[in-house]
Structure 1
Amino acid sequence: MKKHILEISGIQKSFNDKLLLSDIYLKLETGQIIGLFGRNGSGKSTLLKIIFGIVPALDKSIFINGISKNNSSVLLNEIRYLHQNQFIPNHFSVFQTIRLSVDKQKIFVFCEDDFLKPLLNQKIKDLSFGELRYLQVKLMFFNQSKFVLLDEPFSGLSPKMIEIIMLLIKENSEEKGIILTDHNYKSVIGIATDLRMLKEGKLRVINKKAELVSEGYLANSTIF
């Protein structure tokens, strides 16, 4: 399977004259899951939004397979972004949502899902939070994009639902490059192939899990 490569460089962002992100460089390949760490306010969500194109950054440079993709309208076909909020209209049914979001040729495969089958006729407003999050995450993967950005996919979920969504992410990671950030650091560590951390505006490579302790993100290493 052909590898696809996303490279982002030159990202700088300030808010109220305070530098949040400074000269960020990030490389992501299909088949890779990057776990992104950082304390509250470090800029994790802002970085994902800049990559996706919904937050501006003047010096941003984005290349996919060596070709410039700085035009945000072009990026919509290459990158998908799961933000923290509900984005599907409440009056839609699950099946209507799938029909409007997934290529016709893939709808049957999408619905051949033991978790989703009992939910197809339900309204979005009647789903549990976990059921809705599962649907949202799965929709991120059933498209032509090569890269997926997941912002807090495990937030508010039960341990069982976290396991189900982790499996969904793993199953789709062979064909997609994924950046994942979540306060549930154990789940992120458990699924990520590579780790990065935002600290003082810089993106740092984490080669060993224990570095999350030495960098001040975690208090101790007992979780390892």
Structure 2
Amino acid sequence: MPNLLEIDSVVKSFYMHDVLTDIYLKCQTGDIIGMLGRNGTGKSTLMKILFGTLQADRKFIRIDGVVYDQPYKTVNEICYLPQDSFLPKHMSIEKAVKLYLDKNQVQDFMEDPILQKLDASKIAHLSGGELRYLEIKLLLNTACKFILLDEPFNGVSPILVGEIKKLILKTSEFKGIILTDHDYRNVLDVANQFCLIYDGGIKRIDDKQELVRWGYIPESRLE
């Protein structure tokens, strides 16, 4: 039976300015939801509210019918990749893996050809793209039912972008994933459902041509 994540009736204002108004979004196992929208429309804000680290003026979050105020405080429900790195720079790669994963996962995880090629033992020695790959793979391999990815492709080389897309597609068989990225082409490539945050609301996108009609992208860029 698939797991179900819902966030409902979200209202969030900053300094008397309404950013999100009456948002509803659901995600279940097998979904890769691409959340689109221009800069400043509230994509990251909604992610943080859904994770539970940012308070909203109003919200209801349910996972498999259970209401949560701060889902991240409950083990194995939800993980969040923020725009900034979350792994301590002084930590070794292996220690970070052991911290996040079960013992029986560590060996297989470290045998990843990409990780084996890294000429570094410390997090601080990784490039921005390598670190992003490591963090995303860590979160996708946790036992969490749902994964939120905020700008997963930012600063990542084309080769690693392709590998991250493969990881997301494979993991979606067992989890629900919500992602957003400033490069909408990568989102369109990997997501199987789409929504657009526009003027404080959220709109389900059933046809990519709707992104043109809403003025999000020009028709010339829609392949």
CA distance in structure 2 between the partners assigned to 1:75 and 1:197 by the alignment: 28
CA contact (8 A) 1:210 1:221 kept: no
- Once the 2 structures are TM-superposed, how far is the Cα of residue 59 of structure 1 from its aligned partner? 2.1
Aligned-residue Cα RMSD (Å) equals: 1.5
1:60 shift after superposition = 1.1
Given that 2:72 and 2:78 are in contact with CA atoms closer than 8 Å, whether structure 1 keeps it comes out as no
Tell me the number of residue pairs that the alignment of Structure 1 and Structure 2 aligns: 223
Alignment deviations for residues 48-75 of structure 1 (CA, whole Å, 9 cap, x no partner): 0000011101421111111222344544
Q: Matched residues in 2 for 1:171 and 1:124: separation?
A: 25
In structure 2, C-alpha distance between the alignment counterparts of 1:132 and 1:207, rounded to whole Å: 34
Cα distance in 2, alignment partners of residues 38 and 30 from structure 1: 23
Asked if structure 2 preserves the Cα contact closer than 8 Å seen for 1:35 and 1:181, the reply is yes
Deviation at 1:112, TM superposition (A): 2.4
SS in 2 for 1:84: coil
> Do the aligned residues in 1 keep the contact of 2:76 with 2:144 (CA within 8 Å)?
yes
Output the amino acid matched with 1:168: L
2:81 corresponds to which letter in structure 1? L
Deviations 1:21-56 (A, max 9, x none): 001000100110000001111000000000001110
Percentage of pairs with the same residue = 45
> Aligned pair in 2 of structure 1 residues 221, 208: CA closer, same or farther (>3 Å)?
farther
Equivalence for 1:136 = 135
Q: Distance in 2 between matches of 1:214 and 1:42?
A: 17
Shift of 1:169: 1.0
User: Following the alignment from structure 1 to structure 2, what is the Cα–Cα distance between the partners of residues 71 and 119?
Assistant: 36
* Long gaps (5+) in structure 1: none
1:114-156 per-position Cα deviation (integer Å, ceiling 9, x unaligned): 1112338611111111111110001111222100000000011
2:211 maps to 212
- After the TM superposition, which of the residue ranges 187-196 and 69-78 deviates more from structure 2? 69-78
CA contact (8 A) 1:52 1:75 kept: no
CA 1:121 to 1:222, structure 2 compared with 1: closer, same or farther past 3 Å? closer
1:106 aligned to 2:102? no
Indicate the residue corresponding to 1:188 in structure 2. Answer: 187
Structure 2 letter corresponding to 1:201: G
Q: Output the TM-score relative to the length of structure 1.
A: 0.94
Question: Residues 74 and 129 (structure 1 numbering): CA distance in 2 closer, same or farther, change over 3 Å?
Answer: closer
Q: Which residue of 1 aligns with 2:83?
A: 84
For the pair 1:166 / 2:165, whether they are aligned, the reply is: yes
2:11 match: secondary structure: strand
Kept in 2: contact 1:95–1:121 (CA 8 A): no
Structure 2 equivalent of residue 52 of structure 1: 51
Distance 1:173 1:73 in 2: 20
In 2, the alpha carbon distance for the partners of 1:217 and 1:81 equals 25
Q: For 1:148-206, what per-residue CA distance to the aligned partner results, in whole angstroms no more than 9, with x for missing partners? A: 00000001122222111111111111111000100111110010000000000000000
Pairing 1:116–2:115 present: yes
- Letter of the 2:126 counterpart: L
Whether the 8 Å CA contact 1:213–1:221 is kept in 2: the answer is no
Whole-angstrom CA distance in 2 between matches of 1:136 and 1:8: 25
Q: Distance in 2 between matches of 1:24 and 1:192?
A: 20
Aligned-pair CA distance for 1:76: 5.1
- State the distance in 2 between where 1:71 and 1:142 align: 22
SS at match of 1:134: helix
Distance 2:88 2:76 in 1: 22
Q: Which residue of 2 is the match for residue 36 of structure 1?
A: 35
Q: Following the alignment from structure 2 to structure 1, what is the Cα–Cα distance between the partners of residues 191 and 118? A: 29
